[in-house]
Structure 1
Amino acid sequence: MAEQDSTVETEFDVVVVGSGVAALFGAAVAASRGMATCLVEKTDRFGGTSAYSGGAVWLPGNRVLARDGVEDSVEAGRTYFRAVVGDRTAPDLQDAYLNTGPMVVDHLLDSLEIPMRFQAFPDYFDAPGRQQMGRSIYPKPIPVDELGGRAGDIRVSVPSDQFGIPEHPTRVEGGRAWVARLVLALDDMEAAELRLSTAAEHLLRDDEGRVVGVEVRDGSGSRSIGARRGVLVAAGGFERSTELR
């Protein structure tokens, strides 16, 4: 995404680019804390590749695991993580992920009221700290009826998208359930605004080089959205670009 200077037309505290689970959760945290938040998604449906996923979330030592009878801890997860990943990423970045994982789950449960469950999914590698039954948590399926008018706004799964296999008629599961539940949570927040078919084209900077918003394009043309507190770029596709990575 390019960067340029521009005059801001609309302003929020936070602008989020993308609508996968990371983007939706980031928007939900900001909006739940009273920050005016705008999420923009370039396609006509929410979810990105998160909607294609099985929905497993690997966050060691969280409350859902303890509630469902899984003995685990952040330190056990750290042992496994270090053994598998090593120094391919910065240790402080690894620690930030591991140490805040339980807090993420607490926020999902307590502030966003998203029901979750443990489901056996073994850790892939035979390494110190491995959980034979895994330590993955999933959102509970959501009845289609609860989605109301949002049912058509959630991206379909891979079998449906690629092979035309119909979705389950009465419930939404896996990664799609994360997306659906987070979208509904955001819809209930006065501080949140969600925009589909709105593509982010440029980051906006002030005279000191600070990112202060995003230029977007929708069906009406280009417009600038300001961000007083920051821009969260959580769109997919970066792995395809060596330069962006």
Structure 2
Amino acid sequence: MSVTDKPTQTVSVGRKQRRKEIKQEVSVDVEVDDGESRLQDGTHMNVSCNVPAPTPCKMPVVEGVVGSQRVSVLRDTGCSGVVVKRSLVTEDQMTGEVRTCTLADGSSLKVPTATVVVDTPYYVGPVVAWCMETPVYDLILGNIDGARAPDEPDSSWNQRMADIAVVETRAQRKLKERPYRTLKVPAALKEVQPSDIETAQQEDDSLVKIRDMVTSDEVKERRDGGKSRFFKHRGLIYREYQSPAVANGRTFK
């Protein structure tokens, strides 16, 4: 790596000063070993998995799967966790937690996390990953427990994926050939109107407590931190439920 340094020297001549520019070429040798750069004088510098290398080099990049989607995977020994592209993650996979990720330049970035299932030649199973919008690769596997070394990927992974694809194709073919079953619905349901449901809800003795909760607008607290209540809408009684442990706190009605 070459660094060009251009310091400015001030020279005094009586009351006048003039500046002259001194060009100085400084050559620094850099050795890269296991994701860490070492200068010739022994100084260490971290190499970020998010920053492209300044010179072409062979990276341990393979194909993998996140959920059901094929992705590019980088096995990075300079990373201590897992990074996944945000567009590959669904809302129900988000943990609701935000963690601080320290980059190679010393700056920090707060990113949300998600639990995703990955299947790669280096690691198979669920992981808690940092979600980033535009990582260099779809999935970056760092030094996590159970991960294979960069030079020791599972050589049978591609064949296993091919076998799975064949099985899925056969199953899909059978599914298409199978006729749809007719949904059996009791004839009585065809004659039920919203007004009939409203009357039944008001006359059913087993719903006395629920009707009282509607009147008092009582909110029931749950042990998982969730809440539920019953309310009326256009004459019908509905239940509303919300929990931080379910679908990132989404409210269901």
Q: TM-score, normalised by structure 1?
A: 0.18
Structure with a larger share of its residues in helix: 1
Larger Cα Rg: Structure 1 or Structure 2? 2
Under a length normalisation based on structure 2, what TM-score does the superposition of the two structures give?
0.18
